[in-house]
């Protein structure tokens, strides 16, 4: 099983996602509704991810 490459790929995908999120978030700065939607989305994803078993 190649768990190390899989983990590296996962971290790599997360780094790309993080960079994209920072850019998108910066562009949305000062927009209250956008930030509110992001917080709600984090709430939902945080709840979902709570049930993972990794």
Partner 1 sequence: VIAPPPVWGLLSRRQSAVALAVYTLAVVAGALALAAVLDAAGHALRAPWAGVGAVALVAAIFAAEALPVQLPQSRWRVPREWGRLGPVGYAAAFGSALGLGVLTALPSPGFYVILYYGLTGASLVSIWIVAIAFAVGRALPMLAIAAATRRSGEYPAGPVELVARTLTAASPLEVLLLAAVAGAVLAPGG
Q: Whose CA is closest to 24, among 37, 11, 9, 13?
A: 37
Number of chain residues interacting with partner 1 (CB under 8 A): 42
CB 28 within 8 A of CB 34: yes
Which residues between 24 and 53 bind partner 1 (CB under 8 A)? 24-31, 34-36, 38-53
Altogether, the residues listed in the chain come to a count of 54
Q: Which is nearer to partner 1, 5 or 34 (CB)?
A: 34
Give least dist CB 12 to partner 1, A: 9
Which residues here bind partner 1, judged by CB under 8 A? 7, 10-11, 13-31, 34-36, 38-54
């Amino acid at each position: 099983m190649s768990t190390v490459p899989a983990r590296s790929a996962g971290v790599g995908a997360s780094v790309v996602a993080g960079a994209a999120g920072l850019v998108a978030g910066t562009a949305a700065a000062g927009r209250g509704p956008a930030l509110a939607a992001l917080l709600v989305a984090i709430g939902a994803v945080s709840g979902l991810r709570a049930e993972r078993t990794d």
